[in-house]
Amino acid sequence: MNLYNMKASKILKRTVYLLTATGFTFHATSHSDFLPFPLFPDKIKAGIDGIVRSSRAISTITFTIADYKYSLYSLSVGSEDYLCKLSEVHLRSAKRILKLCEMNKGFYVKAGQFVAAIRQVPKEYSSTLLSLQDQAVPCDFKSIKEVLMSNLGQHLSEIFISLDEQPIAAASIAQVHHAILRGNQEVAVKVQYPGLEHKMRLDIAIMSFLSKTVTWIFPEYRFGWLVSEFAGTISLELDFIQEAKNSEKTAENFKNNEMVQVPHVFWDFTTSHVLTMQFCKGCKVDDLDSLKEIKANPIKVAKALVEVFAEMIFVHGFVHGDPHAGNILVSSEGRNGFSLVLLDHGICKTLDDTFRVDYCRLWKALILLDSDEIKHLGEQFGIGQYSRYLPLIFTGRSIDSKSVLGAGMSAEERRKVKQELVSLTVADISSFMESLPPNFLAVLRIDGLLRSIVSKLKAPQQIRLLAYGKYALYGLAPKSNLKSDFAIDVVFARFKTTFSYLHLRIILEVLQLLSWMRKVKQLLHRLLGEIIGIARSVLTLSSSDVL
């Protein structure tokens, strides 16, 4: 070992020892009942709680760093042994981080959910952290009541005829209570947990510190983009006034769409920490048993869901940024037998119009497999050499694929792609994610969440691909100004968009037909071969009998 490597090894060991010592200092305080919290004022309790939470995070990441460093030591990168061991370490580390999120709660749960929704992280992390989606411990109603009274400035009996103390939903930053206002309106009251701003600043500072520490020790593991994106996202969720405005903007965008419901906001009883909105009934969008009870076809629900979000992304440029199943209900009311209720508009993304148009062009190119256009748009997005992986990420095909959209890859294509992906290093993946514009990261996460729901509804992914292609064309159509443009121009623009979509649809159907014909041809060849084989056997037996 040369002098440089010896020094690096010593620095690493000292860092690991230091971080581990910091973690162990408070490791014994992992359980909140260890500390005599009732003896301290609130500010001191909050400070001690912050230290405990931070120490847990530091010790967890320290153990994880050591696990990666020493489990993979001396293994050849890319070898079968290395990949097998790497998967084992990923799984152990994911379970370790899951436990951290469950113990620290709050923003750590939210961060875990955020990571689980990104398909580009190792599958061991996304599948393990997915369990955080439905994990949230409600806050004691006494604390909730204090938040309500301090924000609304009145005694609760003056505002509500009734207010259920038991929440109907609980998440990582707020919980929701069913209530009836004095005007007899049935409402859902969303109440933010107390003291979140302070916790957010501390937790994100620790996450940033840990991210930089990991990068210092493992330069190829760079997670600054993830912490930055999460910090920006979570800060949006803490302002319920902004969430209410987002809700109203979404409602306005879909005012002519009977398939979409957005709860009405009661502004007199809404503040930055309390959001009072219309109570809407419905079942979770991925609850197959409940969908069956209300006679809603899961395939039609999946189609409506992806079309609604495709319209947001490709046409409106204003999109609900957190479409997990808990935020989307299916109501039995609607012209087609059901409608979608969109909840929780805290994370809404306004897409830059240049990005929106380029993203529309990308999806048109992805569906038609226009590799030159895909590469050109990759340059526009700033991902250069990694643009060849965009078809794989979004449509499950390689950039040189000849397979039908939605049909997956052939065995030969899968083999080539696997070889190509094995050559990618962690540094390559980090570089790719770092180079993505914030808007692209947002739509990537949204797409991942939608794909998960479509899969749970047992709907073919081709529904999603076709919806994206359709609305990408709508998004590329010139926006007509009905006040100044001639009516003939408006009609022509609509006709042109419809014709482009029909052209695209015909191409897809022809490709599907050709694929089906190839399969039939292969089947006939196989059957003919079997018939010839049987005939030869019969002739051989007959010849034997004659002899």
189 DSSP β-pair partners:
177, 276
What angle do helix axes 438-456 and 298-310 make, rounded to 10 degrees? 170
Handedness of CA 371, 376, 380, 384 (dihedral sign): positive
> What count of residues does the chain have?
547
Say if residues 190 and 275 touch (Cβ distance below 8 Å).
yes
| Beta-sheet strands, E only, within 287-431 | 318-320, 328-331, 339-342, 348-350
Q: Which two tokens stand for residue 61?
A: 């990441």
Q: What is the residue type of 13?
A: K
What is d(CA 201, CA 239) in angstroms, rounded to the nearest whole number?
Answer: 15
Cβ of 526: how many Cβ atoms within 10 Å?
A: 10
Q: What one-character DSSP code corresponds to residue 257?
A: -
What is d(CA 362, CA 375) in angstroms, rounded to the nearest whole number?
Answer: 9
CA distances from 203 to 25, 216, 456 (A): 18, 20, 33
First to last CA, the chain: 80
Say if residues 185 and 265 touch (Cβ distance below 8 Å).
no
Say if residues 179 and 156 touch (Cβ distance below 8 Å).
no
What angle do helix axes 353-368 and 461-476 make, rounded to 10 degrees? 130
Place of tokens 């005012």: 255
What is d(CA 113, CA 83) in angstroms, rounded to the nearest whole number?
Answer: 26
Enumerate residues 6+ apart whose C-beta is below 8 A from 235: 200
Q: Which two tokens stand for residue 359?
A: 């993203």
Q: Which residue numbers are catalytic?
A: 322
Say if residues 227 and 209 touch (Cβ distance below 8 Å).
no
What is d(CA 183, CA 179) in angstroms, rounded to the nearest whole number?
Answer: 11
Q: What one-character DSSP code corresponds to residue 178?
A: E
What is d(CA 357, CA 351) in angstroms, rounded to the nearest whole number?
Answer: 10
Enumerate residues 6+ apart whose C-beta is below 8 A from 526: none
Please write down the HEC assignment for all residues of 409-475.
Answer: CCHHHHHHHHHHHHCCCHHHHHHHHHHCCHHHHHHHHHHHHHHHHHHHCCCCHHHHHHHHHHHHHHH
Say if residues 395 and 403 touch (Cβ distance below 8 Å).
no
What is d(CA 258, CA 199) in angstroms, rounded to the nearest whole number?
Answer: 41
CA distances from 431 to 64, 269, 326, 407, 425 (A): 22, 46, 32, 30, 10
